[in-house]
Amino acid sequence: MPKSLDLKLAAIHANPHGCREFILADAKDADMAFGIGAPGQSPEAHSGELRFKTLAEYREQIRQITRQGLVDIMLMSSSTNYKLTIEERLFENSQITPAARANDTTDVHLARGSTYATEGARPFRSAGIDEIQCGHVQCEPGERTLGANLGLYSVTFNNRLDLDYETLQRFHDFRREAEYKGFRYFLEVFDPNLPGVIDPAKLADFTNDMIARMLAGVAGPGRPVFLKIVYHGPRALEQLVAYDPHLVVGILGGAAGTTRDAFQLLHDAKTYGAKVALYGRKINNAENQLAFVQFLRLIADGQLGPVEAVKAYHAVLERLHIRPHRSLEEDLQQQVNSMSYGGTTTRVAVPPAAPAPAPVTQVAVAPPAPALPFPQAVAAPAYAYPSRNGHHGLVTESSSLRPVVANPLQSVETRTSGFPQRADGLPDFSRMDVHQRLAYHRQRLGLS
């Protein structure tokens, strides 16, 4: 099946300034950083003790989001890639491109009690390219298509000659091997993880210059498919986008924050030239990941604004009897997000694009709902999961539990006429371009 990533990249390169396609990625590779805590905390009570979700639950969430079909890339650890891509063939009939983290620099080694992330980042690779492509250390001819053929390679510049020299040398070695083996990669550039190594006023310029400098020596076949960087605001992003329109720029999501943080970041980055957004913790910490992803897609496709999306998302949670992490009023606020992987060092304050909305205390969830500009949009993907004790006030997205509320968007078969459909007759959002998706939702909502 054609992958939406490839179709969108082709469209972007054909018309860098006019193309409105936007690439979304779910970063489910946190087990290469946080270890046992990567899947997130269980919402269920266990006699007052903290319990983490399991790796099985984490992978089940990957399956569900992949079947939902609204993201373009699913980023995983090499071990999860082996399980889902190679063994289960999860992505074989999906438009979603599987990807794996191809290196794990020491600033993402975040075991409980560790101090590695407080020292200057050092390059390191747990996974080999062959292991990502075919599942073992030396692929035979024809095996390289069994696994993922896209990887995330991460660098962290600290304005320290000894550290940055080693970082650049190891990147040089990686990209040469990747080109030789036909392996595609996207490049993640973190801000310094050491304090005081760069004037904060020059941080964005330093990062932009280091990106341009390091890629100036890389010929076409060895260049990254796209970038993943910290969003430093409109000026820095527009500067990098204007420098080379064919250097596709994406932003990383950073720490969890409020729902408004996540939605506003996507909206603002897209406004100022980004073509990609990769969200990890913002998705993984959401009360309902499927609904959260759907609203990210609606914002990316220009169908909803951030404030309206937050309100509609809360309406979905209320309809599903899911207790939100924050009140609607709190969730509409913008916070200062930490942009280091560990969330403990560099902090980037980006001015909000617009004044914060007036406090909202109540939103109706069933028509008529004047507080919601798209009242029927609250019927976005709705999956409710009872907790193990059968109580619906707290929910979990466990592999051992089945959805009890169907996805309304995929149940309206009579309204999909004229749009791409899956083999089972349901709407196939993966094969719709942005204009078709907008037309579909307008038709579904009775606006056309």
pLDDT of residue 89: 98
pLDDT, average across residues 342-359 = 45
Torsion of CA 342, 344, 345, 350, to 10 degrees: 90
By mean pLDDT, which of 115-124, 293-302, 435-444 is the weakest?
435-444
Tell me: pLDDT of 384 over 80.
no
pLDDT digits (tens, 9 = 90+) for 5-49: 999 999 999 999 999 999 999 999 999 999 999 999 887 756 566
Which residue in 237, 294, 299 sits closest to 409, CA to CA?
294
What tokens were used for 185?
């990669």
CA within 13 Å, CB half, 20: 14
By mean pLDDT, which of 24-33, 124-133, 320-329, 341-350 is the weakest?
341-350
Terminal CA-CA length for the chain = 31
pLDDT, average across residues 233-242 = 96
Q: Does 348 or 389 have the greater pLDDT score?
A: 348
Tell me: pLDDT of 396 over 80.
no
pLDDT, average across residues 268-288 = 96
> What is this structure's pTM?
0.78
Largest CA distance in the chain: 63
> What is the set of domains in the chain, with CATH numbers?
4-381+393-400 (3.20.20.70)
Give the mean pLDDT of the chain: 82
